[in-house]
A and B are shown apart, each in its own frame.
Chain A
């Protein structure tokens, strides 16, 4: 029978705690932005029709921003995590 342990990864992830904290913070930031978007929609829906810039209303600007911010946060998160992992790798080599 193949009742080996499910996990196959070996070694210790020194950066795990840092990445977990960072991930939770970034998730909190994005969740607030997403929650505010939903709250505006359900409580003052007409506000979403207010023109913001270049003839585009708040609904379009906020919607595009939520998608763009997800990508920007993802890039920042990956950069910070990679930098942190590399610092441990450097320490390990030293």
Chain B
């Protein structure tokens, strides 16, 4: 990642200062419950639309998707498509009814048609569960990001983010959260566009040198012969000192340890038509005494893994620099069948008391990175295909059921404003997601991917254009975490203070108490998020985000849709559906191969072979709501008794102090 840049620290402090300044400035607007939980319902639809983007485009979207595209190509872009498609459900089905029926939280909308305590409790718990699952990866992302940015340890990054977000939320609630998200969303889209333009102006090269900043590293290849003792290099300056055959399923990959000038490194052997070729790799070795070695020397500030990824052929030509390209030509040349992209693969084994992780080049034709297949095995078994279908289903149905997204419908004055702000959100988010393909593929071919951690691909790509863009993108990435975490904490604090303490428990006696309860809840939820963020250090963030989407799609969305479109829906049916949705989706994930890997077990031994529960948990939740509703007494309030208006609706008046 390089040394800590003073400019990055300055920009980081400016952005944090700006966000805290907004919070203190807008604090006076958060004295009423409406002001605290829904920004008084007075936010302009345009601002709300961009704030939607700031709320939704989390660290997983920005860092995760760009990183995934950088290492797996188009497969990462499928997440962009799925995440955006979910907004169509939000606009066409959910936006206006949610605005009409609710006041501060998702639970309000269900409550408006039933007014049952059990439903209030379950809907609030579902909000809390989804929010907490979504909070964890954001906090993990914050800790990972702060290490290279400010040089602070992981835990300090998590605590810092937690403290800033609690301050933002506790001072001015939804008002400050909205403006923080608006600024972050706007900055993210503008600077992503700037990098995309810079990428196209730079064009493509078979020897990317980051604009002359980092010399291109050419990995060596030497021929070898098979002897009775093993593989021997033909170059006499190298000497084979060890060999390891790594068996994964039916495939054997051979690694040979070569020594030159007293430095021993692992090389990958390719055996084709009787000819053996050894390819230089990168390696991380943990010695028996616990010391970490990288590429044959002790790890240090100056000895880190080299950044990777390049095109070795562009449309069949070697040693090419294209110069500036239009965006379509940029994509077409990377995806040309005669282009060759050097991706990097990882292999790990324990040998002679050492833990060895090897990263090696994996050249593939360009057209394989611009279509699905590098990560999702769509030409594989039926199981793989069902899993993919399940993921795309959860992304489609999950967005419109995320609590921190749903509460943003209450910050605008009318149904019409809710609809318009969703249109703005679709435009902003869709545009950003199109740009993720350029950023991801750009990182892939510009030698800006850390082979050990692809999450920093976007900031590292920005760094290849100079310190300012790196500093700006890093600061925006940090703001990305702040914006999304703020939204999640206010959603969770609403579930605790408004849904549980007031509407379920009847413990709140006036507006002032409700605001105080919300602030205390924000402190508590923020504290829990900090602890969970530290506890989940190193856990795959995409896994946790997927969990949140699956739970939201399984527990919340069936209730919203059935309540809106089936008059026979009952409160008991909805309660049962929420419980079943949570249990089935969380249960499948906890018994999946991904979870087995997290437990340190063999993924193939997991009792459930699927990684994504949506294809089972969503239909089961729908079936549950239908069956239980048919078996119980109708209790939905008549639609005509719920007045509504397309016109401007006066926001609730501030409480008297």
Residues of A within 8 A of B (CB): 1-3, 5-16, 19-20, 22-24, 26-27, 30-31, 34, 37-38, 41-43, 45-46, 48-49, 54-60, 63-64, 66-68, 70-71, 73-75, 77-78, 81-82, 85, 88-89
B436 shortest CB reach to chain A, Å: 11
List 9 additional A-B contacts (Cβ < 8 Å) besides A9-B100, A20-B564, A89-B646. Answer: A24-B93, A34-B392, A37-B81, A41-B376, A42-B385, A56-B332, A56-B335, A77-B423, A78-B419
Cβ B646 vs Cβ A85 within 8 A = yes
- Give the residue of B112, B335, B643 whose beta carbon is less than 8 angstroms from that of A11: B643
Cβ A63 vs Cβ B77 within 8 A = yes
Alpha-carbon gap, A22 to B645, bound state (A): 18
User: Known: A34-B85, A66-B84, A74-B422. Is A27-B385 also a contact (CB below 8 A)?
Assistant: no
Alpha-carbon gap, A13 to B649, bound state (A): 12
Whether a CB of chain A sits under 8 angstroms from the CB of B434 is yes
Cβ A1 vs Cβ B643 within 8 A = no
**25 sampled A-B residue pairs with Cβ under 8 A:** A3-B502, A6-B102, A6-B108, A11-B647, A13-B644, A16-B644, A27-B89, A37-B81, A42-B385, A45-B378, A46-B379, A49-B368, A49-B371, A56-B328, A57-B367, A60-B331, A63-B77, A66-B84, A67-B80, A70-B87, A71-B426, A77-B419, A78-B420, A89-B646, A89-B647
User: Known: A10-B649, A45-B372. Is A57-B335 also a contact (CB below 8 A)?
Assistant: yes
User: Known: A2-B514, A81-B419, A85-B646. Is A67-B430 also a contact (CB below 8 A)?
Assistant: yes
B568 shortest CB reach to chain A, Å: 17
Q: Which of A9, A31, A49, A54 lies at the interface centre, i.e. has the most chain B CB atoms within 10 A of its CB? A: A9
Alpha-carbon gap, A81 to B109, bound state (A): 22
Alpha-carbon gap, A68 to B84, bound state (A): 10
Query: What string of 1s and 0s marks CB contacts (under 8 Å) between B415-450 and chain A?
Result: 110011011001100100110010000000000000
Whether a CB of chain A sits under 8 angstroms from the CB of B642 is yes
User: Known: A49-B367, A64-B434, A67-B430. Is A9-B502 also a contact (CB below 8 A)?
Assistant: no
Cβ A67 vs Cβ B503 within 8 A = no
Q: Which chain A residue shows the least CB distance to B114? A: A6
Cβ A6 vs Cβ B646 within 8 A = no
Determine the chain B residues whose CB is within 8 A of the CB of A89 once the complex forms: 646-647
Main secondary structure of the interface of B (DSSP, over half): helix
Cβ A2 vs Cβ B646 within 8 A = no
Cβ A10 vs Cβ B645 within 8 A = yes
Alpha-carbon gap, A18 to B503, bound state (A): 33
Whether a CB of chain A sits under 8 angstroms from the CB of B232 is no
Determine the chain B residues whose CB is within 8 A of the CB of A6 once the complex forms: 101-103, 108-109, 111-112, 115, 503
Q: Which 4 pairs, one residue from A and one from B, show the smallest C-beta to C-beta distance?
A: A55-B332, A11-B645, A23-B92, A6-B108
Q: Which chain A residue shows the least CB distance to B382? A: A42
User: Known: A6-B101, A7-B108, A74-B91. Is A45-B645 also a contact (CB below 8 A)?
Assistant: no
A35 shortest CB reach to chain B, Å: 9
Whether a CB of chain A sits under 8 angstroms from the CB of B55 is no
Whether a CB of chain A sits under 8 angstroms from the CB of B361 is no
B101 shortest CB reach to chain A, Å: 5
Whether a CB of chain A sits under 8 angstroms from the CB of B635 is no
Cβ B647 vs Cβ A7 within 8 A = no
Cβ A54 vs Cβ B92 within 8 A = no
Whether a CB of chain A sits under 8 angstroms from the CB of B508 is yes
A58 shortest CB reach to chain B, Å: 8
Residues of B within 8 A of A (CB): 33, 74, 77-78, 80-81, 84-85, 87-89, 91-93, 96, 99-103, 108-109, 111-112, 115, 328-329, 331-333, 335-336, 367-368, 370-373, 376, 378-379, 385, 388-389, 392, 396, 415-416, 419-420, 422-423, 426-427, 430, 433-434, 437, 502-503, 506, 508-511, 514, 564, 642-647, 649, 652
Q: Which chain A residue shows the least CB distance to B85? A: A34
- Give the residue of B93, B396, B643 whose beta carbon is less than 8 angstroms from that of A9: B643
B315 shortest CB reach to chain A, Å: 9
User: Known: A56-B328, A78-B420. Is A30-B88 also a contact (CB below 8 A)?
Assistant: yes
Alpha-carbon gap, A83 to B85, bound state (A): 25
Cβ B112 vs Cβ A5 within 8 A = yes
Alpha-carbon gap, A77 to B657, bound state (A): 43
Q: Which chain B residue shows the least CB distance to A68? A: B430
Alpha-carbon gap, A59 to B92, bound state (A): 26
Determine the chain A residues whose CB is within 8 A of the CB of B437 once the complex forms: 60, 63
User: Known: A24-B93, A48-B371. Is A8-B103 also a contact (CB below 8 A)?
Assistant: yes
Determine the chain B residues whose CB is within 8 A of the CB of A30 once the complex forms: 85, 88, 92
Alpha-carbon gap, A67 to B86, bound state (A): 11
Determine the chain B residues whose CB is within 8 A of the CB of A85 once the complex forms: 416, 646
- Give the residue of A14, A27, A59, A74 whose beta carbon is less than 8 angstroms from that of B74: A59
- Give the residue of B430, B514, B564, B652 whose beta carbon is less than 8 angstroms from that of A8: B652
A30 shortest CB reach to chain B, Å: 5
- Give the residue of B85, B419, B509 whose beta carbon is less than 8 angstroms from that of A66: B85
Alpha-carbon gap, A56 to B88, bound state (A): 26
User: Known: A8-B103, A70-B426. Is A42-B643 also a contact (CB below 8 A)?
Assistant: no
Cβ A82 vs Cβ B416 within 8 A = yes
User: Known: A55-B332, A71-B427. Is A19-B96 also a contact (CB below 8 A)?
Assistant: yes
Q: Which chain B residue shows the least CB distance to A10? A: B643
Alpha-carbon gap, A23 to B93, bound state (A): 6
Determine the chain B residues whose CB is within 8 A of the CB of A82 once the complex forms: 416
Cβ B328 vs Cβ A54 within 8 A = yes
A6 shortest CB reach to chain B, Å: 4
A55 shortest CB reach to chain B, Å: 3
- Give the residue of A23, A59, A71 whose beta carbon is less than 8 angstroms from that of B370: A59
Alpha-carbon gap, A35 to B199, bound state (A): 33
Cβ B371 vs Cβ A57 within 8 A = yes
B455 shortest CB reach to chain A, Å: 22
Q: Which chain B residue shows the least CB distance to A86? A: B646
User: Known: A15-B646, A89-B647. Is A38-B434 also a contact (CB below 8 A)?
Assistant: no
Alpha-carbon gap, A32 to B175, bound state (A): 38
Alpha-carbon gap, A23 to B248, bound state (A): 50
Q: Which chain B residue shows the least CB distance to A89? A: B647
- Give the residue of B84, B99, B103, B647 whose beta carbon is less than 8 angstroms from that of A70: B84
Q: Which chain A residue shows the least CB distance to B87? A: A70
Alpha-carbon gap, A28 to B33, bound state (A): 38
Cβ A74 vs Cβ B510 within 8 A = no
Q: Which chain A residue shows the least CB distance to B642? A: A7
A88 shortest CB reach to chain B, Å: 8
- Give the residue of A15, A55, A81 whose beta carbon is less than 8 angstroms from that of B328: A55
- Give the residue of B370, B433, B645 whose beta carbon is less than 8 angstroms from that of A67: B433
Alpha-carbon gap, A25 to B508, bound state (A): 43
Q: Which chain A residue shows the least CB distance to B100? A: A9
Determine the chain B residues whose CB is within 8 A of the CB of A77 once the complex forms: 91-92, 419, 423
A29 shortest CB reach to chain B, Å: 10
B348 shortest CB reach to chain A, Å: 29
